[in-house]
Amino acid sequence: MVDIIHRIGIKASISSVYAAVATVEGIAGWWTTATSGRSTPGGRLNFRFQRPTGEEIGQMEFEVMDLRPEQHVRWRCASGPGEWIGTEVTFDLKQEGDTVVLLFGHRDWREAVEFTAHCSMKWATFLLSLRQLVETGQGRPAPEDLKIDDWN
């Protein structure tokens, strides 16, 4: 199995970082404004992505598998790009000095394809957006997200 993993440090309270990954309002502030559903164990989260012109790029649905306040969030992809179905996204939080360390994972890709490399780069820029949201109050979610290549 192939995994994308990233580490980022955020200067904020662990409760505010947790809120950014464990609530619909939080996620909408750094990943995509078109976030809906219920962030509760067994709940479903739906994410839609559009170009700034309004054209839909894609959408995906995750089941919320685990939520441990200020520690851990785990989702499993139920629908979306074929390569994503069955993969899991995790956010693990810990305090180190004055920094909250967020360990991100998008795991269990069946193979490492060019789309995996695109998603790895894209997740990194969304984690910068997440940090900016928590530290400044303003993230950079889709559709105004940083574009990284000819795919988005």
Residues that bind its own copies (CB under 8 A): 2-9, 96-97, 99, 101, 103-104, 112, 114, 116-118, 120-121, 124-125, 127-128, 148-151
Both tokens assigned to 42: 């067994």
* CA dist., res. 106 & res. 109, Å (int): 8
**b/e map of 2-31 (b: 16 or more CB within 10 Å)?**
eebeeebebebebeebbbbbbeeebbbbbb
| Rounded Cα–Cα distance for residues 23 and 33 (Å) | 13
Q: Closest distance between its own copies and the C-beta of residue 41, in Å?
A: 25
What angle, 0 to 180 degrees and rounded to 10, lies between the N-to-C axes of helices 14-22 and 114-136? 130
| C-beta neighbour count of 70 within 10 angstroms | 16
User: Within 73-142, where are the H helices?
Assistant: 114-136
Shortest distance, position 43 Cβ to its own copies, whole Å:
27
Least separation in angstroms between residue 52's CB and its own copies is 17
Closer Cβ to its own copies, 5 or 57, answer by number: 5
For the bound state, the minimum distance from the C-beta of residue 124 to its own copies, rounded and expressed in Å, comes to: 3
Of 97 and 137, nearer to its own copies (C-beta) is 97
CB-wise, 64 or 119, nearer to its own copies? 119
Q: With respect to its own copies, which residue has the nearer C-beta, 20 or 45?
A: 20
Least distance to its own copies, CB of residue 2, Å: 8
Task: Choose between 38 and 112: whose C-beta lies nearer to its own copies.
Answer: 112
